[in-house]
Amino acid sequence: MNAVAVWDTTRKVGYIFAAKARLLAPELDRVNAPAFRVNDEPPADKIALYVHLPHIERVRALQIDSSTKADTE
């Protein structure tokens, strides 16, 4: 199964689309990343949550990290 959950600070708020999850899940597993922090600010005039994922090439370029989280900007 290739599910990738989306969390806010304290709770799961949903999942990314299945097509993106099929690409990202194996890469997150490869770098041993139980979490992937996406740095971005939400639109000020919206109440919906938007997650801007990096292009798959940026995720594939990540090196294996021994820490528990992999970060990107």
Query: Side chain identity at 15, as an amino acid letter?
Result: Y
Digit-coded pLDDT (tens) for 12-48: 888 888 998 898 888 888 888 777 776 666 666 766 6
Residue 9 has pLDDT above 70, yes or no: yes
Predicted confidence at residue 68, as pLDDT, reads 45
Are 51 and 6 a contacting pair, CB within 8 Å? yes
Q: What is the pTM assigned to this prediction?
A: 0.59
Angle at 37 (CA atoms; ends 35, 43), nearest 5 degrees: 135
